[in-house]
Amino acid sequence: MSEQAYFSSALLDPTLSVPAGLSTWNGSDPASRFSVYRNNVVVSLIDALADTFPVTQQLVGEEFFRAMACVFIQTNPAKTRVLTWMGASFADFVETFPPATSLTYLSDVVRLEMLRVRAYHAADAHPVELQIFGQALADLDALAGLKLRLHPSVHLLQSQHAVWSLWTAHQGILSIERVDPELAQTALVFRHDLVVEMLNLSMVQGHFVRLLLAGEGLALAADAAVENDPLFELGSFLAQLIRLQLITSISSKGN
Amino acid sequence: MSIVQPGAAPLTSLPLRAGISLKSGHFQDVLDSQPDVGFFEAHAENFMVDGGPFHHYLSRIRESYPLSIHGVALSIGSETPLDIDHLNALKRLLDRYQPESFSEHLAWSSHGDIYLNDLLPVPYTQAVLERVCEHIDQVQSHLKRRMLLENPATYVEFAASTMCEATFMTEVVQRTGCGLLLDVNNVYVSSVNHHRNPNAIIRALPLAQVGEIHLAGFAEQIDGAGDRLLIDSHGSRVDQAVWDLYAFTLGLTGPVATLLERDNDVPLLPVLVAEAAIAEGLLAKAAS
């Protein structure tokens, strides 16, 4: 094993002995000095996760969160040099982390917080101008063939748990006592101007958005939504997406 | 007297003033208050994202201020090859913002595809010297610009080292043509940790090639023998001993663009600006 291979393993695994070949001016055991590096690595990575997942941390408490994050870092070493993304696989870890499995909703709260980070840093894009919408929607013959592209910051989380309410309750907007975590919710995450926002969508609205995000045409997505729930109101939901400036292109099929 | 010859090509086009770290918590405050600092320094990796507020604010701040982009994840001291995707991301960032200076560290922070997020030490040997120079050559040719290399703060030394840090840095600078980012706090921290004379270390460094100076605060622990062990924490004010070493350094180099670094326990913007003003006072003295 090369020097740096062992050095890096020993940084992440406190049961490994201190690398050979380290020296100190006063002949002291290099262990306490090597532990500065161990501490820097682990603490800085835990801090990065704590920055990304504040609500998750509030749900489980700081001590539990940091212990869980430490196991994650040691067993799933970071593969990105951009700390913003180092929590990308944290939700999958939390889902199967034995001490957390009783909190069935926790991994989806982690997913939601990661989507908020993705939305925050997503590419910029201009919304379609209202005038262009007017023209596109006026041509009823072409309506069926339209394709909408959503803003790059738009993400969807269709959860079996009340992720939107759980997150919102931690912003002081909603009382946590009133949240039933076992209620299925669909959260739409997006950036409006410079701020990440969320909507609590109905299941059918979530179904519709998922099809748009998958690149399906407007007609197919709308038909599928109505089939799913006859009360789906395409017009008012589209108007809401337009008002939130989440539609960034409108084109007829083949264009 | 300055040992830097007048008329020598500058290593960076940063102004000979004090700048501060650009922290995301200060973005709006910087735009609103337009503080009188010489430049801002941004960590490259924080801006390796597609869009959103980070680019919104950096582009606006860049319109009003000189900019230094400082990388922390290139891992120039790594035994494993440089990450080409990361180099490409750096290139895109530098092309977009055209900073007055780009700098990185004499350290490694990754092994293979595992990122460790710390600036880890290398032994000072011929083999490591050659590897570091190859990596710097690769960086400078890929980015099509000279870079500044920062001296590290270290907590251990290697029995295998065959030269001192200043000799190693001098060789790197001579062989690759890169400049030196002289972190005066790192010199002080390492000199305490390894029981050396900080002034002698400063004198032995290639001072004519210094393009920027870093100043920061340190934390303090004790080692296994109960001796002082300083930690380069970037979480507090600059210590008086480091201010003194900075004044000593400026006496040798003349005025150099100087960054007040703060990455942890970041205070309000005016606190950083006030600390930069102290450095500006010493810079003015060095110019007179």
The tens digit of pLDDT for each residue in B70-85 reads 999 999 999 999 999 9
Residue A70 lies in a domain: yes
Q: Are residues A162 and A210 in the same domain?
A: yes
pTM greater than the 0.90 cutoff: yes
Q: Write down which residue in A86, A112, A147 finishes a domain.
A: A86
**Interface touch B225/A28, C-beta < 8 Å:** yes
Q: Are residues A152 and A241 in the same domain?
A: yes
Instruction: Give residue A253's pLDDT band: very low, low, confident or very high (50, 70, 90).
Output: low
Residue A93 lies in a domain: no
Is B246 a residue whose pLDDT tops 90? yes
Q: Are residues A113 and A43 in the same domain?
A: no
Contacts of B43 in chain A (CB under 8 A): none
Is B9 a residue whose pLDDT tops 80? no
Q: Is A22 left (phi over 0), alpha (psi -120 to 50) or beta?
A: beta
Question: Which are the contacts of A239, defined by CB distance < 8 A and separation ≥ 6?
Answer: none
Interface of B with A in 60-99 (CB under 8 A): 73, 78-80, 83, 86
Cα distances from B24 to residues A49, B43, B71, B102, in angstroms, run 17, 11, 16, 19
Mean pLDDT calculated for residue range B260-272: 95
Q: What is the pLDDT of residue A15?
A: 95
Closest residue to A194, CB basis, from B50, B52, B229: B52
Residue B8 or residue B165, greater confidence: B165
**Vertex B66 angle, CA B64 and B69, to 5°:** 125
At B128-173, the pLDDT tens digits run: 999 999 999 999 999 999 999 999 999 999 999 999 999 999 999 9
At A170-227, the pLDDT tens digits run: 998 888 888 899 999 999 999 999 999 999 999 999 999 999 999 999 999 999 999 9
Is A151 a residue whose pLDDT tops 90? yes
Measured CA to CA, the distance from residue B265 to residue A198 in angstroms comes to 30
> Which string of b and e fits B44-61 if b means at least 16 CB within 10 Å?
bbbbbbebbbbbebbeeb
Kindly report the nearest CA distance between residue A121 and chain B, in angstroms.
5
Q: What is the pLDDT of residue B98?
A: 97
Q: Are residues A55 and A118 in the same domain?
A: no
> Under CATH, which number does the domain B18-287 receive?
3.20.20.150
Calculate the average pLDDT of chain B. Answer: 95
What 8-state DSSP symbol labels residue A165? H
Measured CA to CA, the distance from residue A168 to residue A210 in angstroms comes to 22
Instruction: Give residue B10's pLDDT band: very low, low, confident or very high (50, 70, 90).
Output: low
Q: What is the pLDDT of residue A176?
A: 83
Q: Please give the share of chain A, as a percent, with pLDDT higher than 70.
A: 98
Of A169-173, A207-211, A242-246, B17-21, where does mean pLDDT reach its minimum?
A169-173
Is B110 a residue whose pLDDT tops 70? yes
Q: What is the pLDDT of residue A134?
A: 80
> Taken in order B90, B93, B98, B102, is the CA torsion positive or negative?
negative
At A43-69, the pLDDT tens digits run: 999 999 999 999 999 999 999 999 999
Is B21 a residue whose pLDDT tops 70? yes
Is A136 a residue whose pLDDT tops 90? no
Measured CA to CA, the distance from residue B52 to residue A118 in angstroms comes to 10
The token duo for B32 is 């609103």
**Interface touch A4/B79, C-beta < 8 Å:** yes
Cα distances from A214 to residues A8, A150, B77, B113, B230, in angstroms, run 40, 10, 43, 31, 53
CB B200 within 8 A of CB B90: no
Is B7 a residue whose pLDDT tops 50? no
Q: So what's the ipTM on this one? A: 0.94
Cα distances from B58 to residues A55, B41, B138, in angstroms, run 28, 10, 27
Interface of A with B in 46-85 (CB under 8 A): 48, 77-84
Mean pLDDT calculated for residue range A136-147: 78
Is A252 a residue whose pLDDT tops 60? yes
Q: Are residues A184 and A151 in the same domain?
A: yes
**Helical H segments across A126-254, by residue range:** 130-138, 140-143, 163-169, 203-213, 218-228, 234-243
Residue A95 lies in a domain: no
How many other CB atoms are there within 10 angstroms of residue B66's CB atom? 20
Annotate A34-98 with DSSP letters as a single string.
HHHHHHHHHHHHHHHHHHH-HHHHHHH-HHHHHHHHHHHHHHS----SSGGGTTTTHHHHHHT-G
Calculate the average pLDDT of chain A. Answer: 94
Annotate A94-116 with DSSP letters as a single string.
HHT-GGGTT-TTHHHHHHHHHHH
Instruction: Give residue A140's pLDDT band: very low, low, confident or very high (50, 70, 90).
Output: low
What 8-state DSSP symbol labels residue A180? -
The token duo for A123 is 């590419």
Q: What is the pLDDT of residue A137?
A: 74
**Interface touch B49/A4, C-beta < 8 Å:** no
Q: What is the pLDDT of residue A175?
A: 82
Residue A145, SS3 per DSSP: coil
At B212-244, the pLDDT tens digits run: 999 999 999 999 999 999 999 999 999 999 999
Q: Write down which residue in A52, A86, A120 finishes a domain.
A: A86
Strands (E), chain B: 18-21, 40-43, 67-70, 101-105, 108-111, 114-120, 148-150, 157-158, 179-183, 210-215, 219-222, 228-231, 258-260
Length of chain A: 255
Question: Which are the contacts of B262, defined by CB distance < 8 A and separation ≥ 6?
Answer: B20, B21, B23, B216, B217, B234, B235, B272
CB B70 within 8 A of CB B211: no
Contacts of A29 in chain B (CB under 8 A): 224
Contacts of B227 in chain A (CB under 8 A): 26, 28
Kindly report the nearest CA distance between residue A61 and chain B, in angstroms.
21
Task: Return the H-helix or E-strand segment holding A156.
Answer: strand A155-159
Is B6 a residue whose pLDDT tops 60? no
Give the residue numbers spanning the domain of A238. Answer: 104-255
Task: Return the H-helix or E-strand segment holding A185.
Answer: strand A185-192
Residue A99 lies in a domain: no
Q: Are residues A19 and A120 in the same domain?
A: no
Is A97 a residue whose pLDDT tops 80? yes
Interface of A with B in 117-146 (CB under 8 A): 120-125
State the number of CA atoms in the 13 A half-sphere of A200 facing the CB.
Answer: 11
Residue A98 lies in a domain: no
Q: Are residues A40 and A162 in the same domain?
A: no
* Count of structural domains within chain A: 2
Is B287 a residue whose pLDDT tops 80? yes
